[in-house]
Structure 1
Amino acid sequence: MSSTPAAVPEGAVLVRPLLASDWPAVRSIYAAGIATGQATFESAVPEWEAFDSAHLAGLRLVADTGSGILGWAAASPVSTRDAYRGVVEHSVYIAPAARGRGIGRLLLRALVASAETSGIWTLQCSIFPENMASLALHQAAGFRVVGRRQRVAKMGHGPHAGEWRDTLFLERRSGSAGTD
């Protein structure tokens, strides 16, 4: 018997907008990602109101099986300045039991498509170099490593608490938005 999870068939999961009613499941998935110490420098999940106000309504998605949320993706503006209106930073989080099953690919593909139709010309993110799964996911979706930020911040929680951490900075440029 193989320990590798089976890929989720495309029709088995609906990627749809993240609703306020999804917050308990999204919060749980976010907390699980924080606990790994490989997903974010954040040490606690924000309250719904803070999450809601920080993320763009049209760029918040969940992967839903009808019986549960398997993951989420969301994007935030990088600046309030008009010149950066088409640049967002995004996150993708997958429930521990759903990792390795193609959920991240479905969410990231849908987020890229939503960003394209919203006029977003750059999606960007920071990934810990040790998070090979996220790095591979993003590179397969057309993201490129722009640079490495060395010792950018000290981890305040989890298995790397007290350690200075590097991040890789990735971006994906639109093929249609911002090409003028």
Structure 2
Amino acid sequence: MFNIREMVENDWEFVKEIYEQALIEGKSTFTKEVPTYENWDKSHLKDCRYIIEKDKKIIGWCSLSPTSSREVYKGVVEVSIYIHQKYRNIGAGKFLLNYLVKESEKKGYWSLISSIISSNINSIKLHEKCGFRQVGHREKIAKDIFGIWQNTVLYEKRSKIIF
């Protein structure tokens, strides 16, 4: 049903399109504009960048970003996951996030963090279905694209590799 593969630079136009949808919705990111590939590439880890396809069409993507430049936190990373609007609620997000969890453990990441805008109920449910737990809440942390202050909830998935 779904195919997952590593993201390559040539996927950027599709990744960018899906990211732009999220910007317009204002529920997934506080970013006001999609970065260039070069800027996006610099801020995300080189591994654990995946594309999910259905019928050979890119329908979503995920990646990891470092949470700190300090060596002791090299295994603590932040998750980005985005699914095209037309392909939500068909299991693609769960399939992709579970794959990311499994692959990130193989790479030695022990704590996956997601900061989710609290009104993004679908993302919260997705993370909970994939074994993430709420570990925090931040009030009025940033303004969304519409200029409205938003709260976020912090979710974490701890790897089995450290236990």
Q: Structures share a fold, TM > 0.5? A: yes
User: Residue type matched to 1:72 in 2?
Assistant: W
Give how far 1:67 is off.
3.0
Distance 1:172 1:37 in 2: 24
TM-score of the superposed pair, with normalisation by structure 2: 0.96
Equivalent-residue separation in structure 2 for 1:140 and 1:13 (angstroms): 18
Residue 104 of structure 1: aligned partner: 93
Q: Which residue of 1 aligns with 2:152?
A: 167
Q: Which has the higher strand share?
A: 2
For the pair 1:127 / 2:112, whether they are aligned, the reply is: no
CA distances 1:128-158 after superposition (whole Å, capped 9, x unpaired)? 1111111011011111111110011122x2x
Shift in Å, 1:54: 1.4
What is the count of residue pairs matched by the alignment? 163
Identity across aligned pairs (percent)? 38
- Identify unmatched segments of 5+ residues in structure 1: 1-11
Which of the pair has more CA radius of gyration? 1
Moved over 2 A (4+): none
In 2, Cα distance between equivalents of 1:103 and 1:34: 20
1:66 Cα offset (Å): 4.9
Alpha-carbon distance between aligned partners in 2 of 1:67 and 1:102, rounded to the nearest angstrom? 16
Partner in structure 2 of residue 58 of structure 1: 47
Q: Unaligned regions of 5+ residues in structure 2, if any?
A: none
TM-score, with length taken from structure 1: 0.87
Show the counterpart of 2:133: 144
Q: CA contact under 8 A between 2:141 and 2:151: conserved in structure 1?
A: yes
